[in-house]
Structure 1
Amino acid sequence: MATILLQAAGAYLGGFLGSVGAAVGSAAGAVAGYMVDRALIDGSRRIEGPRLASSRPFTAEEGISLPRLYGTARLGGTLIWATRFKENRETRRQGKLGPKLTEYSYFANAAFALCEGEIAGIRRIWADGREIDRENVEMRVHCGTEDQLPDPLIEAKQGEGNAPAYRGTAYVVVDRLDIGPYGNRIPQLQFEVIRPVGGFVNRIKAVSLLPGATEYGLSPKLIRRRARPGEERAVNRNVLFAGTDIAASLDELQTTCPNLEHIALIVAWFGDDLRAGHCRVRPYVTTANGGGLSSEWLVSGLAREAAPVVSTHDGGAAYGGTPSDRSVLDAVAEIKARGLGCTLYPFVMMDIADGNALPDPYGGVSQPSYPWRGRITCDPAPGSEDSADCTAVAAAQVSAFCGDAQAGQFSPAADTIAFSGAADDWGYRRFILHYAHLVKKAGGVDAFLIGSELRGLTTLRDAANGFPFVDELVQLAVDVRGVIGPQTRITYGADWSEYFGHHPQDGSGDVCFHLDPLWASPAIDAVGIDNYMPLSDWRP
């Protein structure tokens, strides 16, 4: 109607300008009338999206077997309970004057039997063959104990006293699952189920958390890198069954080791030379480009741009880099929040790449690639011709390795610990004292290591037949105690091959209990030994 009226009005008004004006006025009036008509018509129209007339029926198989699981396996869930789909309706107008559109979405509640209990937990979930993000699914796991209670949702729907507890059966309840992506039906769900066999896991009380070389892997907070505007990716989340990698690790540890009490948190700096007098111990990064990261990398006041970059091996970074101070602080807080004890374990890794030209203190053409830290020694090494061992030169090289950092040269900053000593002092003392101050900033830990497996250094002797690096460790323990206080236990992790004494291979037949002054120090709380015992034996 508006089209006809406005078309006539436009022709009349345009007629004052002649026949051409009448034609133009008529066309303009017709367009305006059409727009008015569409607004009036669309404003009262309603469009409804697809809607389920009824829930699709479920099928059941009577007498189906219930699996018995040993270890870890991917199991298909058997539907044992479900409710009618919950329908959500959302109405919105398309544009300012457009029609109203009503869209429907559906959510399901269901329970799936997995296997005979008792299981430790569930790691991953697949829906129609595709792994789903557990952070987006509300799910409760019932491990199949003989005293488990009914699921609260099932009991709420069935009525108090009418819900089975399925004791002895491991099952999961999925709460309000969005089934739109699966064709508005409950998808075929599969679960990666963990069931440790035997009682060994119940005896595990403490675990060392690896790797110690990861810039953000210890952060329980999600760290993102922006590749380009509008595109981001997580750098510390490589799984879909927890919010971050460390959360996934701790969840699984506590699931599989129910009596776990303690975590040793390893944090790595990197040595760059087997010659004690030339070796610097510094924090490394995997790349100097930190653009787009949601969290700044800072360690001992050192920013990413000024930090050394780890070497490459087989086309990639040889190590994961040093954890940022912020991530270590947050990891300690996360471990303590879970009711676990925490040991901070400063760890030296050796970043000496293939094909290096460094002189080998043991007499080789060049230093071996990525060696064990226990190989750091004097130059020339003990047993070599003209060895520096048992001379004042060995003591001087040990002193150079340790550096001159003092406890009073460290101070807390926003996300790191600032160091006011010499900028080029990358000695071992700075490494250990830095983490002692970081522990203090974190509110303390249960235990702290001042080092481990530095066998090539602890066995070096000076001209008076003393052990200068052991003396350095004794003083370092005293300094660390002064920083972190009496409530934290302190020790050194001696290598299993040296804890019983030093047996110099010089034909003297001497046996030197070189670590006794360290173990006897009032600042040391325990004799520590790094020993890698086999957990199994292939022999019958």
Structure 2
Amino acid sequence: RALMEAWVGRETLSTSLPPSQLALDPGDVVSLANDGRLIDYRITKINDALSRGIEAIRTDAALYDLPPGQYRAVTLPTATVYGPPEVALMDLPQLLDSVPPHRPYAAIYAKPWYGTAAIWRSATTSGFTLLDTIPQAAHMGVLAADLPAGPTSRFDLGSELMIDLSSGTLTSVTDLELFAGANTLAVESAPGVWEILQFGNATLISAGRYSLKRLLRGQRGTEDAIGNLVLSGAKIVLLDTSLQPLSLAVADLGIAWNMRTGPASAAPSDTIMQAQSFTPNGRGLVPFAPVQARLRRLANGDLALRWLRRDRALAADSWVLMQVPQSEASEIYDLEIMSGGAVMRTVTGLTTPAFTYTAAMQSADFGAAIPSLTIRIYQIGALGRGVPFATTLTIKESL
């Protein structure tokens, strides 16, 4: 620009002005017509005598314009407004060998997503400390229709699970993929109680709404969560890689923690934070319910009761292992003999999956021989009784 000014300024002008131009001063720019075009000069000096003489140099206002360039639309950035998250803190059975069984899980969803979410905790209502950060939004939703109770240990072909999913897509899978763990979700059948189930067939009904069929109910020992009707609106969470194990120790179990969940960029006291109380109970350490109870009356009138042990280890479903793994320190059972809703007899500390209900015990409990027996069996773990196996057995007579 300085070079162009010097080049244009080589041309100078000396002339006299009429009295009508007395208002002009040094620094003013005048335009003179020359050969059909106007040329600008900047006055540098004025000589007042019989006439007013001026000296000027050539100038060009175009020298001070911005150079031409590509047009760009300029818009002001808009601030992203975050809302409170949808949060599910879940006390679940162990889902991965790499995650200790006592640790619960967190699922967090927000739209727009925060980039990273954070969970803070405190045993009181102040002094919150950071527990975990979550880099990925979970795939969550709600039941779009009531879910009835269903069978366990086999396909539920009669029930339909209708859900509204907030994000993500669902697809059908083969039975082999299903048995390998695909298409697993959790349904909150009661506050803090989660049923784990799988679905083989997924049909898109409308935007975000799916019909799920060919169900496997009560997976990972959660058959205790399917006894009642689950109402529409209950939370559902896909159990995939977006699920976050919480960094809680065994010593943290049983404590009612105050949790704050929201954007990692916000303080735990921010109004955007979702506040809730959560008491982890170590569901992953709870023994599964026993199965396949059998009852036979012996010749002396005693009843011989037997059952099979299940284990909470992920490897317990293996067809390769010679023996089912044992996650508990020792094999111990409690047995309750029922009459209606009343407990008639409690037997504790059984070290084998068997019990002989003698004729004398039957007489003391019921006063006479009985055609059937209602029982509850618990395997004992580190935290006490496991999930009960409750059934009514018809007594088979010995040959």
User: Shared topology, TM-score over 0.5?
Assistant: no
Larger % of strand: which? 2
TM-score normalized by the length of structure 2: 0.29
Structure showing greater Rg: 2
TM-score normalized by the length of structure 1: 0.23
Instruction: Indicate the structure whose relative CO is greater, using CA pairs within 8 Å and at least 6 residues apart.
Output: 2
Larger % of helix: which? 1
